[in-house]
Amino acid sequence: MEKLTIVLLGKQGAGKSASGNTLLGCDSFRAAASSKQVTRACSVRHATVDQQIIEVIDTPGWGDSSQFDTEMKPNIIKHINQYKPQVFLLVLPIGRFTVEETKTVLNILKGLGDEVIKSMIVLFTKGDDLENRTIEDYLKESHTDLEGIIRICEKRYHVFNNKERKDCQQISSLLKKINDLVEKNEVMYEKNKMRKKPSSVPKKIKSPTEYEKSLYDQMSSCNTDGKEKEREPLVYRNKLEKFIIEENQKFQDFIKENMEKQLKTMKEELKQIQKENMEKQLKTMKEELKQIQKENMEKQLKTMKEELKQIQMEIMEKQPKTMKKEQKQIQKENMEKQLKTMKELGKTKHELKRFKWRIWKNSRRQ
């Protein structure tokens, strides 16, 4: 197999340098998790992977700053013109796809020309963030702009887990996709070359007028091919921009429709929640009222008991005086009764004594 030259493109922090190290199987590029830009100029490294010489060009993070336009962008274009890469890897991290990523892709196409799309593969990094999902599952849930980029690249994508650099399968699979793309582009180039080959001047020219007409047709054909060749790079970017605009419009319509549905659903849910809350509040109020009534009843009962006890105490305090008088009266009456009874008993005893004495006396006489 012939040498492969690959360019890594993407925004700052996308994982270009780490992907280059994974692809080459060694720490060729400086890669670090940093808020500042680690790669400030293009660097080229090469290694033999799967019996094929791989040349990787690591580029600075693509941006829209004045420093990037004046220093870094010319450096990238210079290396591309010098090394003539066959493949461009657009490095995108797994995660939330934002407008910034879309702008980065459009800026790359504007800066390098839409022709690079023919040789572009989207390389997703941070593959470990997928966890138990596949890359296909991730793309199904992705932003419409990302779907547009994947379609423009003719669904050419791959995923890297740079934490598993010993995983040779992910490297071999990517190299196969790259080689297939290079072969396809070479075949297309040859076909286009044959198709655009200008026809030769006729051997027999019957008249000057006929020759001029033939020459004019050839020049017109060449001019048309040239214009088509100049317009061809613009087709891809316009296609992408148009697709993104259409998808954004669809997305906005979808959001609007969903917002209306959600608003309607939220209103219904709010009514249901209010109804449930009213029922709960009513139930709670009833329970609280019962509890309050119970507590009031208990308090009233307690108060009544205390009042009753107080009344009894007062009555008990008043009773002794009345009872003393009554007791004295009863005692007096009892004393009188006892005295009367004793008097009666005393008379009876005296008579009994006399009766006994008479009996004794009579017994002696006999």
Closest of 198, 240, 236, 243 to residue 217, by C-alpha: 198
Vertex 46: Cα angle to 178 and 14 (nearest 5): 65
Phi-psi region of 92 (alpha: psi -120 to 50; beta: other; left: phi over 0): beta
Q: Which fold has domain 4-197?
A: Rossmann fold (3.40.50)
Is the four-CA dihedral 34, 40, 46, 49 of positive or negative sign?
positive
Question: Is 208 a residue whose pLDDT tops 60?
Answer: no
* Predicted confidence band of residue 216 (pLDDT cuts 50, 70, 90): very low
- Report the residue count for the chain: 366
Question: Is the per-residue pLDDT at 273 higher than 60?
Answer: yes
CB of 150 within 8 A of CB of 122?
yes
CB contact at 8 A, 149 and 27: no
Residue 46 pairs in a beta bridge with: 55
**How is residue 190 written in tokens?**
């040859």
Does residue 226 carry a pLDDT above 50? no
How many Cβ atoms are within 10 Å of 184's Cβ, its own excluded?
Answer: 13
* CB within 8 Å of 234: residues ≥ 6 apart: 114
pTM of the model: 0.56
Nearest to 10, CA basis, from 125, 139, 155, 161 = 125
When pLDDT is cut at 50, 70 and 90, the band that residue 354 belongs to is confident
Q: If you average pLDDT over residues 235-239, what whole number do you get?
A: 62
d(CA 124, CA 153) in angstroms, rounded, equals: 13
The answer, yes or no, to whether residue 79 has pLDDT greater than 50, is yes
Q: Which residues of 317-353 are buried (b: 16+ CB within 10 A; e: fewer)?
A: eeeeeeeeeeeeeeeeeeeeeeeeeeeeeeeeeeeee
Question: In 109-148, which positions are buried (b, 16+ CB within 10 angstroms) versus exposed (e)?
Answer: beebbbbbbbbbbbbbbbbeeeeeeeeeebeeebbbbbbb
Q: What is the mean pLDDT of the chain?
A: 79
Using pLDDT thresholds of 50, 70 and 90, give the confidence band for residue 223: very low
| Between residues 68 and 51, the one the model is more confident about | 51
How would you list the strands of the sheet with 87-93, edge to edge?
43-49, 52-58, 4-9, 87-93, 120-125, 157-159
Percent of the chain exceeding pLDDT 70 equals 77
CA distance 145 to 366: 158
